[in-house]
Amino acid sequence: MMCLLKKLNPVLCLLVWGQFLILTPARAQSLGSRVTDVQTQPDGPFLIDAAPTFPIGFTGGPPTGVATPDGANAMAYLAGEGHTFQLWYCPKHTWGPAKEAELDALLREANAQGMHVVISIDDLQHIQASDAVHVAELKRVVKKYRNNPAILFWKGTDEPQWGKVPVENLRVYYDTVHALDPHHPIWITQAPRGTVAEWKPYSQFFDIGAVDIYPISYPPGTHSGIANKDLSVVGDYALRIRESTGFRKPTMMVLQICWSGVAKPGKTLRFPTFAQERYMTYQAIIDGARGLVYFGGNVAPCLNTRDAAFGWNWTFYDNILSPVLEQLRPDGPLYPALIAPSSKLRLTSDGGPATEFVVREAGEYLYVLAARREGATTQVAFSGLPPGVQDGEVLFESPRHVAVVDGKFTDWFAPHDVHIYRFRRR
């Protein structure tokens, strides 16, 4: 069922148990009395209230209480689009009564509008056991918010390896949060710097690993810390963060809307195109991401005159990001594959390392998500489909289909092409 929010405000859509429920504001508020339980799996989807879920979020979502340019409640609109959370960040040396009141207001709004929140308070993230004042404050904060239904994750120290934060400095935060709150995991993002070996020790102090990587810039790839400066660096880092956890913990990728490397004085402002954003999104999924976060919607130098009044980049969202994320909607044809475990089916291709793909099985369907890195345009053959698989449809490219002959199908791939195949079993 498609969300009716765009047409019937103030009807709201809330993502619960992997489905959309139509709610009035009063009904949405009445659901705000039950803690949201979030559990993780080594190689599977997040479980939110026991339901497999593919979370999509934003760092710095629209300001609390601000409308969209069309006059709808911004948070309700994004929840209605199928998005799960926004990250609330409190910078270093700013946590206090004013910031706490800001967080309280955001959580009230989130509970009313069907959105979740991730809390990140820099002053409490890397503290020592001997720091009695900050340890006591961390305990107070966790106890205050742990049962709030809007809370999804806790955010730990940002980019600790690049920031040269000693690994042991993450222990107090990790142990304290887990001792007091068994329902919400801890997420940590690493910068696109360092090696797998340097990242690995940090994995003992988070439940969800992530990397932020923003390759769209002039010149290209200035954010990358490895030799690959092209779009496919997203997949390289997705694989690296998984490897750093020993493939034992779920991972997400933080992808680009806008960032300081294109917004600082002297830099040339540059945004991803639809094709680039779509490729980065799907490559992250193919290389193991079980959730996605989009960074920079609230970066002030990236906002045009209209959007500055609303505090968020609605121009980019409407023109670029929303059409990409429309394909990942919880009520869409691909979502069962997004929340399925990795298939044990061993499909092969003759496309070499440049052709990346993942196989998922859900219900009567078998899905192949495939993307091509940089290089020549080529025809790729995939082999190993099981007997009884019918010709496949190419999702989001209707009316395209691929023929299956003896468990094999072929298709063309240009650089950064993404094709999503869905095969029905007889």
φ, ψ for residue 405, nearest 5 deg: -130, 120
Question: What letters, b where the CB count within 10 A reaches 16 and e where it falls short, cover 390-425?
Answer: eebbebbeeeeebebeeeebebebebbbbbbbbbee
Q: pTM (2 decimals)?
A: 0.92
Which pLDDT score is estimated for 233?
A: 98
Residues of the chain with confidence (pLDDT) below 70: 1-33
Q: Give the residue among 400, 384, 401, 405 at the shortest CA–CA distance from 392.
A: 401
Which pLDDT score is estimated for 33?
A: 56
Q: Is 92 left (phi over 0), alpha (psi -120 to 50) or beta?
A: beta
Mind listing the domains of the chain with CATH numbers? 12-338 (3.20.20.80), 348-424 (2.60.40.1180)
φ, ψ for residue 382, nearest 5 deg: -110, 135
DSSP 386-419: PTTBPPEEEETSTT-EE--BTTEEEEEE-TT-EE
φ, ψ for residue 79, nearest 5 deg: -60, -40
Do residues 146 and 31 lie in contact, with contact meaning Cβ atoms separated by under 8 Å? Answer: no
How many C-beta atoms lie closer than 10 Å to residue 371's C-beta? Answer: 28
Sign of CA dihedral 43, 47, 53, 59: negative
Q: Give the residue among 8, 45, 112 at the shortest CA–CA distance from 340.
A: 45
H or E stretch at 104: helix 97-113
Q: Give the residue among 216, 229, 237 at the shortest CA–CA distance from 284.
A: 237
Which pLDDT score is estimated for 103?
A: 97
How many C-beta atoms lie closer than 10 Å to residue 194's C-beta? Answer: 17
* Nearby residues of 402 by Cβ (< 8 Å), 6 or more positions away: 391, 392, 394, 409, 410, 411, 421
What are the respective helix, strand and coil percentages of the chain, to the nearest 5?
30, 25, 45
Alpha carbon distance 264, 302 (integer Å): 10
Which pLDDT score is estimated for 76?
A: 95
Alpha carbon distance 55, 84 (integer Å): 5
Alpha carbon distance 6, 415 (integer Å): 35
